[in-house]
Amino acid sequence: MMKKYLLLIFLLAPLIASFAQSDEIPQITNKFLIRNANVIVKPGQLQPGNSILIEDGIIKNVGSNIIPPFDAQVIDADSMYIYAGFIAGLSHIAVPSKETPKDLPKIKNPGNPPNDRAGITPEISLREVMNIKDKSIEAYRKQGITLSHSVPKGRMLPGKGSLIVLNGASVDDMLIKEDVSLFAKLSGASGMYPGTVMAVMSKFRDLFRKAKLAGNHEKTYKSASQGVKRPSYDKSIKALYPAVDNQLPVFFSVEKTRDIQRALRLQKDLGFKMVPSEIKQGWLNIDKLKSQPALLSLNLPKEIKEDKKEKKKDDESEETKSFKAKKQKAYDQYVGQAKLLNEEGISYSFSLLNTKAGDVHKNLSRLVANGLSEDVALAAMTTNPAKTLGIENIAGTIEKNKLANLIVTTKPYFEKESKIKYVFVEGAKFEYDIKEKQKSSSDSTAVDLSGVYNYAVEIPGMTQTGKLTLTKSEDVYTVLVTSEQSSGDPSTIEDVEQDGNILDFDFEADAQGSTMQVNMSLEFDADTFEGKVSVGEFGTFPVTGEKTNPKS
């Protein structure tokens, strides 16, 4: 399925408001019984024909012949597959991109800049930077990510990470455990110290040693303040105390071979707990990675495909052949490292720091295609990160009294045609439409859906009408939707999918001061379309449309 980016100006505020005012709003329940399913309790342990009872966000029971409470919603899984919700071992989910202010004062002494300008902000907690409305939450949740170890964005020491569930009406709703890690990188500052990798390492040593001395000073002062100078240290130094005292692990982003070696050298010199993360070239450091948990990057390189326009191999120069061979070897090592590290006894999870939401399933499947077992791939998204993050008692497997974080798929997760039908996040249900793939002898993404359409959304008690304008430029669509009932406010979204004659996209709409998650899926047939508009717990409503200037 081909990803599309588009500008969407969607004016459906009155539609959403009408859902909120409708007398036919479905009864909302926090109790669910999913029955007749293939339950994967944990990787390698399948229980066919089982049921799961959810109450108040917790798995209350797993087994057969469970009698549901009278007020529970019963979901007939019809032999679908249920997995424990995926856990992002490290990510920026719920963290918007940082915008650098244009009016920042010029640094007077680039050799000794303020910590915040140098990318040194270990005192920043995820709570301070996360946004519960960030589009990444829904994008990753749709891919089965239910819990994330999210960290602030930045350079050398961006801040402290926390564990969040991917649902909630407030920051406090989403936070499971706060300040569980310190996030570190070997990224230098721009135009000031520390600007190079070597400078970052030097600064890292300096900060940790100062924090060690400062922490000892404060302990001495607290035990016997008489005759001891009152300690006074900046917030960045104080924020490092838990890491210096081995109470807070440092999740170090180390993509390349040398980065891994440098971070391990810092760990040896300073003695802090470390979790090497976002690893892309781990195969040359196998022995060094065996002593601690590790996080492999799920951001894979593009597949190497033969270019039909290139010359035949017999006509290639030796230099070209050598270059291609080296490129292929590097690619094979990259996509094969997950299998290799597992064979070497290294337990790892996956980092999603630089992985797009839409690539999660695709890249896990590519690793399996390159020799990684399905059970190991699932463990790296469930049981392993739960253990690394210290939450194996509440997440990672499908067991009684654990969080009701679940993924329900139409077929086994790694089968090509498998689709995610439901995602449960702490008992909250999210349902996704399943579209059958259209058969076509030509390239399915070549369908041109451009035009102006009249549309009608049928909801209880009223019909919402308007115009939908689709324009296409270089395979990128612009969609303009106007409502005849009200103008509303415009919204801009990304991650819109086109599969032949089907357009599917998610966006946020404001309704009476609150924000609603909306999904729209349209299937086009010549000059008309049919589809669904899904508005969270308010339900799913049919939408139809007809071109205003149909082809003759």
**HSE-CB of 470 using CA atoms within 13 angstroms:** 25
Token readout for 119 is 């990318």
The label of the residue with tokens 């669904």 reads 532
Bridge partners, 533 (sequence order)? 520, 541
Token readout for 523 is 């299937």
Torsion of CA 408, 5, 136, 517, to 10 degrees: -70
Question: How far, in whole angstroms, is CA 108 from its chain's centroid?
Answer: 39
SS3 state of residue 296: strand
| Per-residue pLDDT tens digits of the chain, which is 552 residues long | 333 333 333 444 444 544 444 443 344 578 999 999 999 999 999 999 999 999 999 999 999 889 999 899 999 998 899 999 999 999 999 999 876 667 778 888 889 999 999 999 999 999 999 999 999 999 999 999 999 999 999 999 999 999 999 999 999 999 999 999 999 999 999 889 999 999 999 999 999 999 999 998 888 878 876 667 777 788 999 999 999 999 999 999 999 999 999 999 999 999 999 999 999 999 989 988 988 899 999 999 888 776 555 555 556 788 778 888 888 888 888 999 999 999 999 999 999 999 999 999 999 999 999 999 999 999 999 999 999 999 999 999 999 999 999 999 999 999 988 999 999 999 999 998 876 555 444 444 557 788 888 888 887 767 788 888 877 766 767 777 777 765 555 454 455 677 778 877 666 665 545 556 677 788 888 888 888 887 765 667 888 989 987 764
Residues in the chain: 552
> What is the CA angle 536-540-541, rounded to 5?
135
Q: Return the number of other C-beta atoms located less than 10 Å from residue 520's C-beta.
A: 24
Question: How far, in whole angstroms, is CA 355 from its chain's centroid?
Answer: 8
What is the structure's pLDDT at 4?
A: 33
DSSP state, residue 403: B
Contact 12, 488 (CB under 8 A): yes
Q: Tell me, which fold does domain 2-24+444-547 have in CATH?
A: Lipocalin (2.40.128)
> What is the residue type of 168?
G
Cα 403 from Cα 142, distance rounded (Å) = 18
Indicate the CATH number for domain 31-85+396-426: 2.30.40.10
What is the structure's pLDDT at 314?
A: 59
SS3 state of residue 238: helix
What is the structure's pLDDT at 12?
A: 47
DSSP string for 472-530: EETTEEEEEEEESS----------EEEETTEEEEEEEEEETTEEEEEEEEEEEETTEEE
Question: How far, in whole angstroms, is CA 275 from its chain's centroid?
Answer: 19
Q: E-strand spans in 234-347?
A: 250-253, 274-277, 294-297
Q: Which CATH class is domain 87-96+114-302+329-393?
A: alpha beta
Cα 408 from Cα 40, distance rounded (Å) = 10
SS3 state of residue 165: strand
Q: Is the dihedral of CA 307, 310, 313, 319 positive or negative?
A: negative
> What is the residue type of 104?
L
What is the structure's pLDDT at 83?
A: 98
446: left (phi over 0), alpha (psi -120 to 50) or beta: alpha
Q: Return the number of other C-beta atoms located less than 10 Å from residue 333's C-beta.
A: 14
Cα 401 from Cα 390, distance rounded (Å) = 16
DSSP string for 12-38: -HHHHHHHHH-TTPPPP-SEEEEEEEE
What is the structure's pLDDT at 494?
A: 52
Cα 272 from Cα 182, distance rounded (Å) = 11
Cα 37 from Cα 43, distance rounded (Å) = 16
Domain residue ranges in the chain: 2-24+444-547, 31-85+396-426, 87-96+114-302+329-393
What is the structure's pLDDT at 491?
A: 52
DSSP state, residue 386: H
What is the structure's pLDDT at 55?
A: 96
> What is the CA angle 345-347-353, rounded to 5?
140
